[in-house]
Copies of this chain bind each other. A is one copy, B any other.
Amino acid sequence: MIGGGKDAFIGAVHRLAMNMDGQVELVAGALSINPDIAVESGKMLFLDEDRIYTDYKVLLEKEAAMPADKRIDFVSIVTPNFVHFPPAMMALEKGFNVVIEKPITFTLDEAKQLKVKLEETGLSLLLCHTYTGYPMVKQAKQLVKSGALGNIRKVYVEYPQGWLSTFLEKTGQAQASWRTDPKKSGKAGCMGDIGTHAFNLAEYVTGLQVTELCSNINIVVEGRMLDDDGAAFLKFDNGATGVLMATQIAAGEENNVKIRVYGEKGGIEWKHEDANTLLVKWLDKPTEIYRTGGGYNSSFAAHNTRTPAGHPEGFLEAFGNLYRNFALTVRAKIDGEQPKDEWLDFPGVEEGVRGMAFVENVIESGKSDVKWKEFIV
Which residues of chain B have C-beta atoms less than 8 A from A293's C-beta? 254
Which residues of chain B have C-beta atoms less than 8 A from A280's C-beta? 286
Whether B282 and A312, one on each chain, are in contact in the complex, defined by CB atoms closer than 8 angstroms, is no
- List the number of copies, as a whole number: 4
Let me know if A216 is at the binding interface, CB within 8 A: yes
Which residues of chain B have C-beta atoms less than 8 A from A255's C-beta? 308-311
Let me know if A174 is at the binding interface, CB within 8 A: no
Within 8 Å by CB of A370, from B153, B273, B283, B370, lies B370
Let me know if A209 is at the binding interface, CB within 8 A: no
A68 to B310, CA, bound (A): 40
Whether A315 and B313, one on each chain, are in contact in the complex, defined by CB atoms closer than 8 angstroms, is yes
Whether A16 and B9, one on each chain, are in contact in the complex, defined by CB atoms closer than 8 angstroms, is no
Let me know if A67 is at the binding interface, CB within 8 A: no
Let me know if A252 is at the binding interface, CB within 8 A: yes
A341 to B368, CA, bound (A): 45
A163 to B294, CA, bound (A): 12
Within 8 Å by CB of A162, from B13, B247, B283, B371, lies B283
8 Å CB contacts to B: which residues of A11-28? Answer: 12-13, 15-16, 19-22, 26
Give, as a whole number of angstroms, the nearest-CB distance from A192 to chain B.
18
Residues 302-340 of chain A, each 1 if its beta carbon lies under 8 Å from chain B, else 0: 000011111111111100000000000000000000000
Give A373's nearest chain B residue, CB to CB.
B371
Given A20-B16, A166-B283, A307-B316: A231 in contact with B243 (beta carbons within 8 A): yes
Let me know if A290 is at the binding interface, CB within 8 A: yes
Give A161's nearest chain B residue, CB to CB.
B310
Within 8 Å by CB of A289, from B220, B233, B287, lies B287
Give, as a whole number of angstroms, the nearest-CB distance from A171 to chain B.
14
Q: How many residues of A contact B (CB 8 A)?
A: 88
Let me know if A51 is at the binding interface, CB within 8 A: no
Given A312-B275, A314-B313, A316-B307: A262 in contact with B251 (beta carbons within 8 A): yes
Give, as a whole number of angstroms, the nearest-CB distance from A227 to chain B.
12
Which residues of chain B have C-beta atoms less than 8 A from A154's C-beta? 220, 229, 247, 249-250
Which residues of chain B have C-beta atoms less than 8 A from A282's C-beta? 251-252
Which residues of chain B have C-beta atoms less than 8 A from A369's C-beta? 370-372
Which residues of chain B have C-beta atoms less than 8 A from A370's C-beta? 369-371
Within 8 Å by CB of A272, from B260, B287, B310, B372, lies B310
Let me know if A281 is at the binding interface, CB within 8 A: yes
Which residues of chain B have C-beta atoms less than 8 A from A309's C-beta? 254-255
Which residues of chain B have C-beta atoms less than 8 A from A306's C-beta? 12-13, 16, 316
Let me know if A299 is at the binding interface, CB within 8 A: no
Whether B247 and A291, one on each chain, are in contact in the complex, defined by CB atoms closer than 8 angstroms, is no
Give A242's nearest chain B residue, CB to CB.
B231
A158 to B269, CA, bound (A): 15
Which residues of chain B have C-beta atoms less than 8 A from A249's C-beta? 153-154, 262
A-B complex: 6 closest residue pairs judged by Cβ atoms: A252-B281, A254-B310, A255-B310, A314-B314, A311-B315, A312-B314
22 contacts between A and B (CB under 8 A): A12-B306, A16-B306, A22-B46, A153-B229, A165-B262, A165-B264, A166-B264, A216-B241, A250-B267, A252-B266, A252-B267, A254-B291, A255-B309, A279-B289, A284-B296, A285-B288, A286-B290, A288-B288, A311-B316, A316-B317, A369-B371, A371-B371
Assuming A249-B262, A252-B267, what are 12 further A-B pairs, CB within 8 angstroms?
A: A153-B229, A165-B262, A250-B262, A251-B264, A251-B281, A253-B281, A272-B312, A286-B290, A286-B294, A288-B289, A306-B316, A314-B316
